[in-house]
Structure 1
Amino acid sequence: MKKLTTQFPKILILLGWLSVMEGCVEPYTQSISTNSKIIIVEGLLANDVNLRPILLKESLPSASGSSNINPIRGAKVSVVVNGSTTIALTEKQEGTYYFDSNFKGEIGSTYQLKFTTADGKIFESKVEKLLAPVAIEKVSHLLDAEGISNAEGKTSAGHKLYVDIQDPANAQNQYLWEWTLYEKQNVCQTCIGGYYYRTPAPYGACVEDALLKRYNNIFDYACETSCWEIVRSTQLVVNNDELSNGKLIKNQYIGTMPVFQYTGALLDVSQYSISKEAYNFIRLSQKQGIETGGLADTPPAALIGNVSSVNDPTINTSGYFIVAGKATAPHWLDKQDVFQQQVVPVGLLGGRATKYEPAGPSTVRPPLAPCVNSATRTNQQPKAWIN
């Protein structure tokens, strides 16, 4: 069976494929090379609550020949269920439209994305059916001392991840994989050029200090409660059962992740049953160089997805609204292989060492910092976590 793999980029703490995964998204501007305006759509609806939001962006050409990607603000966005029930989404950040937290897709139902931009342009996706998920039989990992390469060609250790799947017989199946890693986090606040204070409530703040700022000094502050860092995959890894229909698919590669710490960590693997059209779109995006990031990353030549303009056919669109059945499986990483192969972890602070504020005569300094829930951090112990 042919494996479709991608090269894994250097990961910082704040990341994620469709980094919106159950969390907040910061709007951004991105420069690309294109000659016309493109409306870009990114979304994934599955049989799960806390669905990721829909991202809407537009690529606007500039006089320099490049283009800027900006969020589309103020759109009216909805999903039509089974051709009759309309579910409205809410814009919580610019260009980021959220489902109600209790809404989830149902296997066998159909879904169609519709939105109207502030200037009256109407868009809709093709009607997509939520396919039944296929269970993950087994998750395994293998430590590779040179598993990750960065943009400069430097390599570092990484865990290669694999799954076993019992593919259903007499049906075409296409799969997309993601993973979410939970690592115990000990640093809950970092101040650059200043000190951390517990006021104002509830989270406190960094207060600038002239001397520390002059030397660009960094101080870290320990967590006052248990805290977990959330790291999400940024690879797009897909495959189909063309050569394995009805068979046990063993050791299907689903991605590589860095070695962050020596301590054990929990991995949650998500496997999506996607349509043949969505699979072909991702394959084509990979051929055009979009190997990491979201499906709304626009390649040199715009990819036509499943969304189009209703009242203006001259508008170019790209990206994809995926509807998919989701199966998940937990996997515990005890990190014994990291010890045995004497691998040096990269840590959870972007590759730098922890630097705590030195203790002094004051009994209130340095203060502990709260673990603030976000897209990349949680104070709730993950399910299947092993203490």
Structure 2
Amino acid sequence: MKEKLLTYTQLILYVFLVISCVTEFQPDPVSVPPSLIIEGEVTDQPGPYMVKLTRTADYSYKSLNLLETGAAVTISDNQGNQETLTELPSGGTYQTRANGIRGVVGRSYKVTIKTKDGKQYESDLEKLSTAPPIQKLYYEYTVEPTGVNLAKRQGWNVYLDTKDPETTGNFYRWTWTHFEPISVCYKREIPGRNVLTGLDCCSPCWDINRCYTCIDISSDVNINGQAISRQFIMRVPFKSTSRYYLEVQQQAISKGAYEFWKSVKGLVNNTGGLFDAAPAAVQGNVHCVNDPTAVAYGFFGATGLSEQYIYVDRSGGQEPADFDPPIEVPQPSACVACENSLYRTPNKPRWWTY
């Protein structure tokens, strides 16, 4: 599993915040019992795969989740193959070896977790299915009719075409990742001026952008065996006239994963009203086997992947673009190392051509 994945931790946090929207009525503080959050999957692409564990803090600590360190994490399949993951130095993230267990279409996978407090968690078995290939990835330039800022109203809608297999019971999820080349790795605002100051990157570097609350899923219940055309992926903003590099992932997920993401999507999109569903509806497929009162959130999946990239040509946009504030870099200056994280990488994207 790569760092592309939409993180369950961020979604669960988002859900808690939405459910707790401030209104004129001020109820007593809600206490969320410490609960384990699991995010991870096995795919039919080479590893390493990662499993991230966090634990919810008390509700009074808003937006804070604690890393679950020191756990024993094992991924196994229904053929008797298994691997115990290694915890990374940053803590809370557990990883397989690069040449370790590999997802195979047709096999089923689960994760087993034993935490430091002696609780043992186990996911349901998930069968890994093949994702149909992306047949076409394309974009269209549009100008939205409302709003006064022309630059903000312009954009390029990205669409995908594929074909559902003749077999029934196929479920899909679509995600995207944008890599933006940057030359400045540290920046801060200059008080009183609409400019930034910063320091150069010591090496080639890319910012990584995703939509963490975008949940695009579908099933073949009404379209079995038919073409899936003009599946909307995302809208490219007009913030530059340079080409926009985008990687799109089409995922073949299980019915259980589809129902999980459907529940999460409903909670993310709700209004936080009195009769909205509670976050407990997104517990997922992981359960504590030796303590039925212990609650776990998240989903461990087995996912088939089909991936493709596209460069969006933005040179045809109507000037001016919605540029970010300029950055002043003092000369000469020290440089800043390009960190390797969920949001930035020194590693060239796989299909990068310039």
Counterpart position of 2:66: 70
Alignment partner of 1:376 out of 335, 343, 347: 343
Worse-superposed segment, 112-121 or 366-375: 366-375
Distance 1:229 1:184 in 2: 6
* Pair 382,286 (structure 1): closer, same or farther in 2 beyond 3 Å: closer
Alignment partner of 1:366 out of 312, 319, 333: 333
Distance 1:385 1:34 in 2: 47
CA deviations 1:87-137 (Å, max 9, x no partner) are 111222332222223444222222110001100000000111111111000
Q: Secondary structure at the match of 1:186?
A: strand
Distance 1:148 1:322 in 2: 41
Q: Secondary structure at the match of 1:311?
A: coil
| Deviation of 1:78 (Å) | 0.9
* Pair 343,83 (structure 1): closer, same or farther in 2 beyond 3 Å: farther
Counterpart position of 1:273: 252
CA contact (8 A) 2:79 2:107 kept: no
| Deviation of 1:86 (Å) | 1.8
CA contact (8 A) 2:13 2:63 kept: no
Structure 2 residue runs without a partner (length 5+) = 18-29, 271-276
| Deviation of 1:159 (Å) | 3.6
Alignment partner of 2:328 out of 345, 355, 364: 355
CA deviations 1:56-110 (Å, max 9, x no partner) are 2223445x69895322221111101225122111222332222223444222222
In the TM superposition, 1:1-387 aligns within 5 A as: 18=6, 35-51=32-48, 53-61=50-58, 69-92=65-88, 93-103=90-100, 104-145=102-143, 157-190=154-187, 219-223=197-201, 225-234=203-212, 235-289=214-268, 300-337=279-316, 339=317, 341-342=318-319, 344-347=321-324, 352-357=325-330, 359=331, 365-367=332-334, 369-387=336-354
Q: Secondary structure at the match of 2:279?
A: coil
CA contact (8 A) 2:32 2:56 kept: no
Counterpart position of 2:20: none
* Pair 36,356 (structure 1): closer, same or farther in 2 beyond 3 Å: same
CA contact (8 A) 1:112 1:126 kept: yes
Distance 1:51 1:270 in 2: 18
Distance 2:254 2:155 in 1: 31
Distance 2:216 2:251 in 1: 11
**One-letter amino acid of the counterpart of residue 219, structure 1:** T
Distance 1:323 1:170 in 2: 19
CA contact (8 A) 1:169 1:245 kept: yes
Q: Secondary structure at the match of 1:118?
A: coil
The alignment's TM-score, normalised by the length of structure 2, stands at 0.78
| Deviation of 1:265 (Å) | 2.7
**One-letter amino acid of the counterpart of residue 180, structure 2:** E
Structure 1 residue runs without a partner (length 5+) = 1-14, 150-154, 194-211, 292-297, 360-364
* Pair 260,51 (structure 1): closer, same or farther in 2 beyond 3 Å: farther
CA contact (8 A) 2:44 2:304 kept: yes
Q: What number of residue pairs does the alignment pair up?
A: 325
Distance 1:120 1:331 in 2: 47
Distance 2:76 2:175 in 1: 26
Distance 1:148 1:311 in 2: 56
Distance 2:218 2:52 in 1: 25
**One-letter amino acid of the counterpart of residue 344, structure 1:** A
Q: Secondary structure at the match of 2:262?
A: helix
% same residue? 28
Distance 2:63 2:313 in 1: 45
RMSD: 3.6
Distance 2:79 2:348 in 1: 39
| Deviation of 1:47 (Å) | 1.6
